[in-house]
Amino acid sequence: MINTYHTSLPMPPPPPPPVPPRFHSRPEPRQHSSLIWFLAVVLVIHMFLTFGGFIYLFHKGNQQELNENYQDDVRILKRLQQCDDDNVDDKTLLDCKKVLNQFKDVMAKASETESRVALLTGDHVHYHGALAHMSVSPAKRVANPRICTENDKGDCALEWNTDHSTKVNVDTEGDSRLRISHAGYYYIYSQVTFSIKNATSVLVNSIRHVKVKEQVKTWMKPEEIDEVLLRSYCPPQQLPLCTASQGGVFKLDKGDQLYVQVTNLNWVHYDRNATFFGLYELK
């Protein structure tokens, strides 16, 4: 009998022992996490302080610029009051004319801007004094124009457009006159631009002052004293345009009236930025 369970072949090696399980250890907490948070907070605070400082400097610069502009306006007004002195020399008078022209440009722009804002919003600037800046009404051509002189009282008077004018504590009398509501000293000015070529006579821009005298008897019509307050001229010339401007300080009583008279209404350049009339009360 053959032994089938016995062989000479080598026996296979025993299986290796099982690998023990591996344990994953937690990473140790970072040592510098608190320092990073501190730096982040410092950076955020620095950004806020920088932004706030920029806004503060921006508003401070604008306020300083407004204060400088206000001081310039005060110097111009003081200079205008000095120009009213009768003892000024010719050189000072030339400088006064320059200052006056600058003031007129500023007043024209400010009045036009204020009128537009008031029309859009319905708001009016609160002002305790009295002032007016009147813009000329559109042209009304006359078929047979006449030449007006100083003796023609009430004729050739310019009319004003209230929609593009500014009035505070000043009344109107018709379409051409301003009536004083508060007695005091006023700076009065006017500018008229003429558009006529080859004129044969002098072009005149006159501010006339009307004082109404009440009669003793009530049934009698009040008497008006109409006189020229200021006058400026444009000589005959070849140029198509000529501007006559003027201004001065006068004492006015309550009820006094003012209007602008020209040589010929058809010779006026009806641009509200070139032809205007106004006043303001001095405090």
pLDDT score, position 281:
94
How far apart (Å, rounded) are the C-alpha atoms in residues 115 and 96?
A: 28
Structure confidence at residue 216 as a pLDDT band (50, 70, 90)? low
pLDDT score, position 21:
63
pLDDT score, position 212:
82
Residue 107: name the closest of 280, 281, 282 by CA. 280
Residue with tokens 């307050």: 229
pLDDT score, position 67:
60
Q: pLDDT above 70 covers what percent of the chain?
A: 65
Q: Mind listing the pLDDT tens digit for each residue in 51-100?
A: 888 787 777 766 666 566 566 666 766 776 667 665 656 555 556 767 77
User: What is the CATH number assigned to the segment(s) 128-281?
Assistant: 2.60.120.40
pTM over 0.75: no
Residue with tokens 């004003």: 160
Q: Mind listing the pLDDT tens digit for each residue in 185-196?
A: 999 999 999 987
Say if CB 225 and CB 276 are below 8 A apart: no
Q: Mind listing the pLDDT tens digit for each residue in 6-54?
A: 555 566 677 777 766 665 555 555 556 777 888 888 888 888 888 888 7
Phi and psi for 157 in degrees, rounded to 5?
Answer: -90, 135
pLDDT score, position 121:
46
Say if CB 267 and CB 96 are below 8 A apart: no
Q: What does the pLDDT average to over 202-207?
A: 90
pLDDT surpassing 50 at residue 248 = yes
pLDDT surpassing 80 at residue 176 = yes
Residue 80: name the closest of 61, 101, 63 by CA. 101
How far apart (Å, rounded) are the C-alpha atoms in residues 59 and 51?
A: 13
pLDDT score, position 128:
74
Q: What does the pLDDT average to over 98-123?
A: 62
